């Protein structure tokens, strides 16, 4: 007897968009109860491969076998029916519907032969599946009220409700808290034990190592290596991904901070959000803000940029008070802000790269009459594309929605860089981008700071904060709880200060 | 501070209801005829045609589209009926009207979903084309209907007038479809995010298409009810009803961006608009003031909706630290 067919066999998948081939024959296999990591630089074709597996796109060539049977889904519905669940990079739930409606949206059980939804059946089944993912919520809760982590779990419950044999996770941890991540990993282990195959895509290579038995590396749309996590190891993974080894991730800065303050925040307060926040950032200085998700770190950034109100305190930029900040006033004062939600706040998805790039600096690309000059737009955005090393230089005819997740992030950064900001607030600037691109972002930050700008850096990655900052402030429950100079950086001490009182933080809705 | 917000929200969430009560009280104080049961029955009869149209419009709005051609659809279907088929018994005539309307809806739906033309543009063009065809066929004359059709207006079951029956039946049907069937829930999903709907395995285009057909069907039926009420069809027939229908839906809480609202709200919106007009009529208000008052009420409703969303946002924002008691 021949050995049983693997759960999934993918062989020689090719795919072109608009005549440009982005997948050049991708092959891999996956066994039952196995987790396969899929890693690669931004734009290397991870999401595209999975979109083909999930029926979102059709391949130009290649074969796929699921448990030995030919598999070629015509649309996402067909993939779901074949037991393949795809949890997208950007979650795919409907905020205006309840959890139970979301779980059954594409195949509601009916009452007898009638077209009516069998409510009692879906409620019961939803309760069961929510229990399996340890989510203690009523099935009738609208999804709009859930946190990112809870939504992730709902997606998994949905996959379970379809008897999925294979679940694809495309960067599942980017907007989860540490605790939610731990919960997710526990759940993945449970799924594996039930014989469900997992494909796990992430730029957090340590996570990939922890979750997956084997890893496949993609580069420029082709598989450049596959091996067990044990044999590969992170450094080898990186060199396979980027084609070179990356030694010092954090480039050194030569110029020390200058004495003048670029930002001075005094006694900032807002009931329920922030209390008596005072700090400064000097020219040529990077100040890191360490805090857990929900600690108020993003809210503080939003207040400085005029997106959220504050009741008391002052904000001054280069000695001039920023009165009643609005984003327009903050920008005029020289502040730039990279929000944590690039899709929601940062980008026009349907517009080309060039239009997005110049969006924050339209004046600089206008001609003498004040009209936008297409040539200048193209030139400026091409320079930007080179500066952040975008994967394409066809800035005028590539729509942002067609870029990979990481390259979208680079466009947002580039957009702000064009304004040569005095203070750049970066909220999770390297979320969802690959190691090579991370280093680019670090290099960009350093260049900016050496030219005399100030940076406020928010990140969940403590290594990143320690590697880049001159000073680290910790925030918890909307209060600053500690400050560390570069010489006294101590991982444990910083994490402890950032978690002060966090367990008692009252989260109400 | 928080409880104050909640109170405000409660008020805002029921703003149309409060508005309704205010309208009732105002006109009730101005005229004792206004609050009579018979008058209220009248209001619902008057609201029936626009209400039926608005229910159809709700389906299209829920998918984040719009149909500007419903008035023209009404005009065309009623003209065809008046020109060639006045001899038919009314159920057959009604069937004919709905089939013809469905064809119009299918054309709109196909242009929007298959050709990918924005629904605003698509239905704006069909508006002009359909009106043109109807005017050309009727040579812009006003065409009368026989008693057989207009008698329906006075008919009814168990003392409930036919217009109200039709209104109630369509409302019940629409409510069941939207809330109790998979198709209905999927309409909400498509309206929230069409691309996400496609990825979730929902036939987004087919659903949008179906909503255009449903909207046109309602236009046909609403037109037929109008015909029984006014007994003739002329060049001004159905003119600009699309705006009244959108207004009723929006007044009832349907979002123009799709995915939010319900037909119950729409019905309420239609009745509220007609109540105001009826009240103005009873107190002998200057006719020029009608659109002004209706417009202000719609404006108020939309402003309230914006405020409500904003307050909801602040209430749903998670607080990070305990609020000092105050
Ligand atoms: N719908 C599309 N139209 C045109 N090009 C596309 C489309 N989808 C993806 N691409 C291109 O295909 C390539 C692979 O993109 P993909 O999204 O698969 O990358 P990825 O490995 O998931 O990257 P990331 O880590 O940044 O998410 C990119 O160059 C991208 O621009
Ligand atoms: Mg991707």
- Write the CATH number for A137: 3.40.50.300
Q: Which residues contact A108 (CB under 8 A, 6 or more apart)?
A: A117, A118, A122, B181, B182, B185
Q: What tokens appear for B154 in the block?
A: 């006075």
Separation of B195 CA from ligand 2 center, angstroms? 16
Under an 8 A CB cutoff, do B202 and A106 touch?
yes
Residue B28 pLDDT > 50:
yes
Answer yes or no: do A323 and A395 share one domain.
Answer: no
Q: Which residues contact B189 (CB under 8 A, 6 or more apart)?
A: A94, A97, A105, B196, B197, B200, B202, B259
**Alpha-carbon span A433 to A48, nearest angstrom:** 16
Which of A338-347, B207-216, B278-287, B317-326 has maximum average pLDDT?
B207-216
pLDDT score for A358: 85
Q: Which residues contact B313 (CB under 8 A, 6 or more apart)?
A: none
Interhelix angle for B119-138 vs B70-84, to 10°?
20
Instruction: Delineate the domains of chain B, giving CATH numbers in brackets.
Output: 3-314 (1.10.3470)
Task: Examine residue A370 and state whether it is found in any structural domain, yes or no.
Answer: yes
Question: Reduced to 3 DSSP states, what percent helix, strand and coil does chain B have, rounded to the nearest 5?
Answer: 75, 5, 25
Residue A132 pLDDT > 90:
no
Of A95, A117, A294, the CB nearest to B318: A294
Q: What tokens appear for A43 in the block?
A: 């734009």
**Alpha-carbon span A356 to A381, nearest angstrom:** 9
**Alpha-carbon span B313 to B320, nearest angstrom:** 15
Answer yes or no: do A24 and A36 share one domain.
Answer: yes
Residue B1 pLDDT > 50:
no
Separation of A110 CA from ligand 2 center, angstroms? 36
Q: What is the DSSP letter of A6?
A: P
Residue A325 three-state SS: coil
Answer yes or no: do A375 and A447 share one domain.
Answer: no
Final residue belonging to a domain, choices A205, A229, A248: A248
With a 6 Å cutoff on the Cβ, whether A431 touches ligand 1 is no
Q: What tokens appear for B19 in the block?
A: 């508005």
pLDDT score for A101: 94
pLDDT interval class at A469 (50, 70, 90): very high
- Give percent of chain A above pLDDT 70: 96
pLDDT interval class at A4 (50, 70, 90): confident
Task: Examine residue A344 and state whether it is found in any structural domain, yes or no.
Answer: no
Residue B230 pLDDT > 70:
yes
pLDDT score for B316: 61
B167: nearest Cα among B300, B56, B295, B48: B48
Phi, psi dihedral angles at B217 (to 5 degrees): -55, -45
pLDDT interval class at A342 (50, 70, 90): low
Residue A1 pLDDT > 50:
yes
Of A75, A296, A477, the CB nearest to B201: A75
User: Range of A295's domain?
Assistant: 250-334+421-509
pLDDT interval class at B323 (50, 70, 90): low
Ligand 1: which atom is nearest the Cα of residue A49? 18
Task: Examine residue A2 and state whether it is found in any structural domain, yes or no.
Answer: no
CB A426 within 8 A of CB A455: yes
Q: What is the gyration radius of the CA atoms in chain A, in angstroms?
A: 24
Q: What tokens appear for B127 in the block?
A: 């508006």
pLDDT score for B174: 96
Interhelix angle for A148-161 vs A178-193, to 10°?
10
pLDDT score for B318: 56
**Alpha-carbon span A55 to A76, nearest angstrom:** 4
Answer yes or no: do A403 and A500 share one domain.
Answer: no
Q: What tokens appear for B307 in the block?
A: 């405020």
**Alpha-carbon span B239 to B234, nearest angstrom:** 10
**Alpha-carbon span A85 to A61, nearest angstrom:** 22
Q: Which residues of A392-429 are buried (b: 16+ CB within 10 A; e: fewer)?
A: eeebeebebeebbbbbbbbbbbbbbbbbebbbbbbbbb
CB A327 within 8 A of CB A307: yes
Under an 8 A CB cutoff, do B320 and A115 touch?
no
Task: Examine residue A341 and state whether it is found in any structural domain, yes or no.
Answer: no
Average pLDDT of A18-30? Answer: 91
Name residue, tokens 């123009």.
Answer: B256
Residue A89 pLDDT > 60:
yes
Answer yes or no: do A92 and A190 share one domain.
Answer: yes
Separation of A48 CA from ligand 2 center, angstroms? 7
CB A333 within 8 A of CB A322: yes
Under an 8 A CB cutoff, do A110 and B182 touch?
yes
Q: What tokens appear for A49 in the block?
A: 């491969």
pLDDT score for A195: 92
Average pLDDT of A38-61? Answer: 92
Answer yes or no: do A354 and A265 share one domain.
Answer: no
Residue A506 pLDDT > 50:
no
* Average pLDDT of chain A to the nearest whole number: 87
CB B141 within 8 A of CB B75: no
**Alpha-carbon span B259 to B237, nearest angstrom:** 31
Task: Examine residue A340 and state whether it is found in any structural domain, yes or no.
Answer: no
pLDDT digit string, tens, across residues A409-442: 888 888 888 888 999 999 988 887 888 778 888 8
Q: How far is A397 from chain B (nearest CA, A)?
A: 20
With a 6 Å cutoff on the Cβ, whether A44 touches ligand 1 is yes
- Give percent of chain B above pLDDT 90: 43
Structure-model confidence comparison of residues B308 and A305, the more confident one: A305
Lowest mean pLDDT among A265-279, A425-439, B104-118: A425-439
Ligand 1: which atom is nearest the Cα of residue A403? 31
Within chain B, strands assigned E span 143-144, 156-157, 160-161, 232-233
Instruction: Collect all residues from A whose CB is shorter than 8 A from any CB in B.
Output: 54, 56, 75-77, 79-80, 86, 88, 92-97, 101, 104-108, 110, 115-117, 145, 271-275, 294-296, 299, 477-479, 505-509
Structure-model confidence comparison of residues B86 and A166, the more confident one: A166
User: How many residues are given for chain A?
Assistant: 509
Query: Which strand ranges, in their side-by-side order, compose the sheet holding A261-270?
Result: A274-282, A261-270, A312-317, A320-321
pLDDT score for A501: 63
**Alpha-carbon span B36 to B24, nearest angstrom:** 11
pLDDT interval class at A370 (50, 70, 90): confident
CB B16 within 8 A of CB B131: no
Pocket test for ligand 1, best of A402, A413, A437 (most atoms within 8 A of CB): A402
A327: nearest Cα among A340, A315, A336: A336
Phi, psi dihedral angles at A242 (to 5 degrees): -100, -10
Residue A369 pLDDT > 60:
yes
Of B1, B176, B320, the CB nearest to A294: B320
Q: Which residues contact B31 (CB under 8 A, 6 or more apart)?
A: B279, B282, B283
CB B186 within 8 A of CB B211: no
Task: Examine residue A3 and state whether it is found in any structural domain, yes or no.
Answer: no
Q: Does an H or E element contain B279, and which?
A: helix B263-282
Residue B325 pLDDT > 60:
no
Final residue belonging to a domain, choices A248, A275, A304: A248
Under an 8 A CB cutoff, do B192 and A96 touch?
yes
Answer yes or no: do A77 and A181 share one domain.
Answer: yes
Average pLDDT of B284-301? Answer: 83
Of B1, B176, B186, the CB nearest to A105: B186
Q: What tokens appear for B258 in the block?
A: 């799709």
Residues of chain B with Cβ-Cβ distance to A104 below 8 Å are 182
Chain A's closest residue to B201, CA to CA, is A77
**Distance of CA B320 to CAs A478, B252, B311, B323, Å?**
6, 35, 18, 9
Average pLDDT of B193-208? Answer: 91
Residue B311 pLDDT > 50:
yes
Answer yes or no: do A37 and A24 share one domain.
Answer: yes
CB A305 within 8 A of CB A380: no
pLDDT score for B128: 95
Task: Examine residue A339 and state whether it is found in any structural domain, yes or no.
Answer: no
Q: What is the DSSP letter of A343?
A: I
Q: Tell me, yes or no, if B253 comes closer than 8 A to chain A by beta carbon.
A: no
Task: Examine residue A492 and state whether it is found in any structural domain, yes or no.
Answer: yes
Answer yes or no: do A446 and A463 share one domain.
Answer: yes
pLDDT score for B77: 93
Final residue belonging to a domain, choices A362, A385, A411: A411
With a 6 Å cutoff on the Cβ, whether A173 touches ligand 1 is no
**Alpha-carbon span A492 to A482, nearest angstrom:** 13
Separation of A432 CA from ligand 2 center, angstroms? 8
Q: Tell me, yes or no, if B260 comes closer than 8 A to chain A by beta carbon.
A: yes
**Distance of CA A67 to CAs A26, A197, A236, B320, Å?**
18, 11, 31, 49
**Alpha-carbon span B152 to B150, nearest angstrom:** 5
CA dihedral A342, A348, A351, A352 (to 10 degrees): -30
Residues of chain A with Cβ-Cβ distance to B186 below 8 Å are 105-106
Pocket test for ligand 1, best of A14, A15, A16, A17 (most atoms within 8 A of CB): A17
pLDDT score for B260: 87
Answer yes or no: do A66 and A151 share one domain.
Answer: yes
Answer yes or no: do A330 and A366 share one domain.
Answer: no
**Greatest CA separation for chain B:** 77
Q: What tokens appear for A390 in the block?
A: 């975008």
Q: What tokens appear for B22 in the block?
A: 């205010």
Q: How far is A167 from chain B (nearest CA, A)?
A: 14
**Alpha-carbon span B311 to B326, nearest angstrom:** 20
DSSP output for B16-31: HHHHHHHHHHHHHHH-
Q: What is the number of other CB atoms lying within 10 angstroms of the CB of residue A81?
A: 15
CB A377 within 8 A of CB A386: no
DSSP output for B303-314: HHHHHHHHHHHH
Domains of chain A: total: 3
Average pLDDT of A268-274? Answer: 87
pLDDT score for A243: 77
pLDDT score for B40: 84
CB A274 within 8 A of CB A300: yes
Ligand nearest to the CA of A88: 2
* Average pLDDT of chain B to the nearest whole number: 86
Under an 8 A CB cutoff, do B189 and A296 touch?
no
Answer yes or no: do A214 and A143 share one domain.
Answer: yes
Residue A504 pLDDT > 50:
no
């Amino acid at each position: 007897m021949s050995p049983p067919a693997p759960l999934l066999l993918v062989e020689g998948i090719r795919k072109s968009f608009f005549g440009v081939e982005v997948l050049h024959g991708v092959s891999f296999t996956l066994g039952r109860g196995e987790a396969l990591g899929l890693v690669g630089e931004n734009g290397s074709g991870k999401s595209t491969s999975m979109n083909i597996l999930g029926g979102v796109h059709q391949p130009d060539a290649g074969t796929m076998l699921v448990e030995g049977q030919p598999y070629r889904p015509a649309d996402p519905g067909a993939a779901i029916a074949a037991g393949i669940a795809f949890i997208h990079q950007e979650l795919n739930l409907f905020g205006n519907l309840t959890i139970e409606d979301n779980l059954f949206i594409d195949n509601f059980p009916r009452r007898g032969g009638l077209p009516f939804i069998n409510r009692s059946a879906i409620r019961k089944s939803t309760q069961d599946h929510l229990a399996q993912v340890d989510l203690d919520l009523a099935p009738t809760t609208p999804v709009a009220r859930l946190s990112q982590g809870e939504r992730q779990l709902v997606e998994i419950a949905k996959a379970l409700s379809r008897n999925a044999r294979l679940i694809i996770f495309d960067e599942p941890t980017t907007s989860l808290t540490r605790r939610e991540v731990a919960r997710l990993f526990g759940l993945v282990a449970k799924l594996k034990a039930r014989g469900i195959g997992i494909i796990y895509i992430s730029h957090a290579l340590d996570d990939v190592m922890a979750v997956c038995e084997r890893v496949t590396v993609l580069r420029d749309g082709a598989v450049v290596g596959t091996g067990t996590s044990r044999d590969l190891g992170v450094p080898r993974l990186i060199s396979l991904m980027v084609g070179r080894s990356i030694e010092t991730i954090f480039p050194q800065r030569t110029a020390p901070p200058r004495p003048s303050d670029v930002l001075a925040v005094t006694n900032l307060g807002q009931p329920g959000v922030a209390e008596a926040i005072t700090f400064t950032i000097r020219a040529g200085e990077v100040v890191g803000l360490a805090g857990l998700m929900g600690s108020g770190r993003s809210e503080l950034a939003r207040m400085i940029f005029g997106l959220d109100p504050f009741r008391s305190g002052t904000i001054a930029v280069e000695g001039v008070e920023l009165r009643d900040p609005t984003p327009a006033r903050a920008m005029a004062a020289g502040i730039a802000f990279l929000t944590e939600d690039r899709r929601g706040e940062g980008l026009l998805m349907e517009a080309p790269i060039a239009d997005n790039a110049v969006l924050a600096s339209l004046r600089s690309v206008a001609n003498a009459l004040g009209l936008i000059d297409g040539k200048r737009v193209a030139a400026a955005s091409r320079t930007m594309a080179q500066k952040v090393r975008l994967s394409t230089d066809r800035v005028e005819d590539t729509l942002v929605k067609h870029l990979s997740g990481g390259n979208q992030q680079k466009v947002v950064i580039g957009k702000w860089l064009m304004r040569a900001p005095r203070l750049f607030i970066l909220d999770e600037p390297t979320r969802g981008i690959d190691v090579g691109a991370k280093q680019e972002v670090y290099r960009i930050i350093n260049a900016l700071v050496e030219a005399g700008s100030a940076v406020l850096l928010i990140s969940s990655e403590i290594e990143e904060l320690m590697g880049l900052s001159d000073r680290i402030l910790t925030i918890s429950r909307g209060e600053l709880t500690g400050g560390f100079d570069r010489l006294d950086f101590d991982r444990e001490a910083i994490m402890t200060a950032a978690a002060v009182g966090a367990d008692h933080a009252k989260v109400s809705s | 501070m928080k409880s104050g917000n909640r109170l405000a929200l409660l008020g805002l969430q029921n703003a149309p209801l409060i508005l309704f009560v205010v309208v009732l009280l105002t006109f009730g104080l101005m005229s004792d005829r206004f609050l009579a049961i018979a008058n209220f029955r009248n209001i619902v009869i008057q609201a029936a045609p626009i209400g039926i149209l608005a229910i159809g419009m709700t389906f299209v709005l829920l998918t984040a589209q719009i149909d500007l051609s419903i008035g023209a659809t009404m005009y065309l279907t009623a003209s065809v009926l008046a020109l060639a088929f006045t001899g038919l018994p009314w159920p057959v005539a009604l069937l004919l009207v709905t089939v013809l309307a469905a064809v119009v809806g299918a054309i709109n739906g196909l242009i929007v979903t298959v050709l990918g033309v924005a629904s605003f543009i698509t239905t704006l063009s069909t508006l002009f084309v359909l009106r043109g065809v109807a005017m050309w066929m009727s040579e812009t004359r006003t065409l009368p209907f026989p008693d057989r059709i207009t008698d329906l207006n006075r008919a009814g079951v168990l003392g409930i007038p036919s217009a109200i029956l039709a209104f109630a039946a369509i409302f019940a049907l629409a409510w069941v479809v939207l809330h109790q069937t998979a198709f209905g829930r999927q309409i909400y999903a498509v309206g929230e995010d069409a691309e996400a709907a496609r990825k979730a395995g929902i036939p987004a285009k087919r659903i949008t298409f179906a909503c255009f057909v449903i909207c046109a069907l309602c236009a046909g039926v609403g037109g037929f009810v109008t015909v029984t009420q006014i007994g003739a069809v002329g060049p001004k027939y159905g003119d600009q009803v699309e705006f009244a229908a959108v207004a009723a839906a929006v007044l009832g809480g349907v979002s123009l961006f799709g995915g939010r609202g319900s037909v119950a709200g729409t019905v309420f919106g239609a009745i509220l608009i007609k109540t105001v007009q009826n009240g103005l009529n009873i107190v002998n208000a200057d006719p020029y003031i009608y659109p002004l008052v209706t417009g202000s009420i719609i404006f108020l409703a939309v402003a309230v909706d914006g405020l409500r969303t904003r307050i909801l946002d602040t209430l749903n924002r998670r607080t990070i630290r305990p609020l000092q008691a105050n």
